Amino acid sequence: MEFVEPFVKILMINLILSGDNAVVIAMASRNLPSNLKKKAIAWGTVGAVVFRIVFTVIVMYLLKLPYIHLIGGILLLLVAYKLLVDKEPEDSQMKVGNSLKEAIVIIILADMLMSLDNVLGIVAVSNNNMLLVIIGIILSIPIMLFASQFILKIMETYSFVVYIGSALLAWTAGEMIVKEPFIQLIFASNPFTETAMLIGLIIATLTIGGFQRKYR
């Protein structure tokens, strides 16, 4: 279970957070001929995954510094909130590549800007297990290429899926925050307060994010 639970969480985080990346890949290559489109998607995805690996190694190193678990947890909470609130980008706002090289560059650069949430989520649930991190990154490849558009449609059709994803991210963010040493000292005397805090973060995220989602 020590391996299965984080593995399932990594799979779900990848499914939830790879949708925007799939949109970028599709839009960046849409003006290319069919044969070049496949090359742009393949090489763009490879480049994006390489940078994800670099980012993941950097984040894992930074987590050894003080207060980084706290900062990372807060950032992941913002990701959970944004998942509820943000609308999908419109086609007119997406950059389109008119050549193979331009499309590849757009895919890589866009993924670099958008992959921090995936990286934070994977690192947060991996407990510094490099095997799980590698699996998480490998899983992101087929999800970005094949599954993301399907997941996007499900999330657009069934809004409760978005709430489930946001709750998972909020819980993961809370687990990351409580790994901060001075936070651990606070909960050392009463471990039940830790669970209460995690549940409170989920309720607060879903309530505030859900309210904003409803009125946007």
DSSP notation for 17-36: HSHHHHHHHHHHTTTS-HHH
How high is the pLDDT of residue 1? 60
CA-nearest of 95, 135, 114, 172 to 4 is: 135
pLDDT tens track, the chain, 216 positions:
667 888 888 888 877 777 667 667 777 777 788 778 878 878 887 888 888 888 888 888 888 888 888 998 898 898 889 888 875 544 445 566 678 888 888 878 877 777 777 888 888 888 778 888 888 888 777 777 676 566 667 777 777 888 888 898 899 889 889 888 888 888 877 778 888 999 999 999 999 998 888 876
pLDDT on residue 91: 45
Q: Number of folded domains in the chain?
A: 1
Residue 2 has a CB neighbour count (10 Å cut-off) of 8
Rounded to two decimals, what is the model's pTM? Answer: 0.75
DSSP string, 155-200: HHH-HHHHHHHHHHHHHHHHHHHTTSHHHHHHHSS-HHHHHHHHHH
Residue 71 domain boundaries: 4-214
Map tokens 């389109």 to a residue.
96
C-alpha span between 203 and 171 (Å, rounded): 10
Instruction: Work out the number of other CB atoms within 10 angstroms of the CB of residue 109.
Output: 17
User: Do residues 63 and 55 lie in contact, with contact meaning Cβ atoms separated by under 8 Å?
Assistant: no
User: pLDDT at position 92, please?
Assistant: 44
Q: How far apart are the first and last CA of the chain?
A: 40
